[in-house]
């Protein structure tokens, strides 16, 4: 399903600066709202790659969103089709299913309500981070964003 995603090489610099700090805190088991460590097999190297991502729970379903476009982790997840998510010592193996743009738009529309329900500090941080790299489109124009930002549903593996 790569035909509908624009190629964006990486997240904005400010987002990449916070990544290592968030990853360290998550490794230590510090709760960081919806953020989780997500380990994905590299599509070229085959080596495990770990990144801190927001795992959005909508009802009983979980999603990760390529907020800044089709970046390295989204390409790896698409190729691997599975990942390990966790915080601290807790880890869970999941299947990743990429949604088509219509399904993704529905999820992105629900995301706005999800953000509104976050505690004020997490809501503020989320909205601040969405200011970079035109990511605000994810909540302001979900139908348009769904054409360039991959959305994956994470399904528990037995």
pLDDT in tens, 8-60: 446 666 667 777 787 888 888 887 878 899 999 999 999 999 999 989 999 99
The neighbour count for residue 155, using CB atoms within 10 Å, is 12
Q: Could you tell me the pLDDT band of residue 95, with boundaries at 50, 70 and 90?
A: very high
Q: Does 86 score more than 90 pLDDT?
A: no
> What does the pLDDT read at residue 100?
97
Phi, psi of 42 (to 5 degrees): -65, 135
> What does the pLDDT read at residue 7?
47
CA distances from residue 19 to 35, 110, 136, 138, 157 in whole angstroms, order as listed? 11, 25, 19, 20, 27
Better-scored residue on pLDDT, 69 or 74: 74
- Going from N- to C-terminal start, the domains of the chain cover 13-156
Distance CA(154)–CA(97), nearest Å, equals 7
> What does the pLDDT read at residue 51?
92
Choosing among 2.30.110.10, 3.40.640.10, 3.40.50.300, 3.40.630.40, the CATH entry for 13-156 is 2.30.110.10
> What does the pLDDT read at residue 40?
98
Distance CA(37)–CA(84), nearest Å, equals 8
> What does the pLDDT read at residue 2?
46
> What does the pLDDT read at residue 23?
81
> What does the pLDDT read at residue 132?
65
Better-scored residue on pLDDT, 132 or 91: 91
**39-43, 130-134, 150-154, range with the lowest pLDDT:** 130-134
> What does the pLDDT read at residue 14?
65
Percentage of the chain modeled with pLDDT above 70: 88
């Amino acid at each position: 399903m790569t035909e509908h995603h624009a190629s964006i090489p990486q997240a904005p610099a400010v987002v990449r600066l916070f990544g290592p700090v968030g990853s360290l805190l998550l490794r230590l088991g510090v709760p960081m709202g919806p953020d989780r460590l997500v380990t994905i097999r590299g599509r070229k190297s085959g080596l495990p790659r770990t990144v801190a991502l927001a795992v959005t729970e909508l009802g009983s379903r979980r999603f990760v969103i390529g907020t800044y476009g089709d970046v390295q982790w989204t390409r790896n997840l698409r190729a691997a089709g599975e990942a390990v998510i966790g915080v601290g010592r807790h880890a869970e193996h999941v299947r990743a299913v990429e949604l088509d743009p219509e399904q993704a738009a529905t999820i992105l529309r629900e995301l706005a309500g999800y953000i509104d329900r976050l505690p004020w500090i997490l809501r503020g941080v989320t909205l601040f981070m969405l200011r970079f790299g035109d990511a605000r489109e994810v909540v302001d124009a979900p139908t348009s964003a769904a054409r360039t930002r991959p959305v994956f549903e994470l399904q528990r593996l037995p």
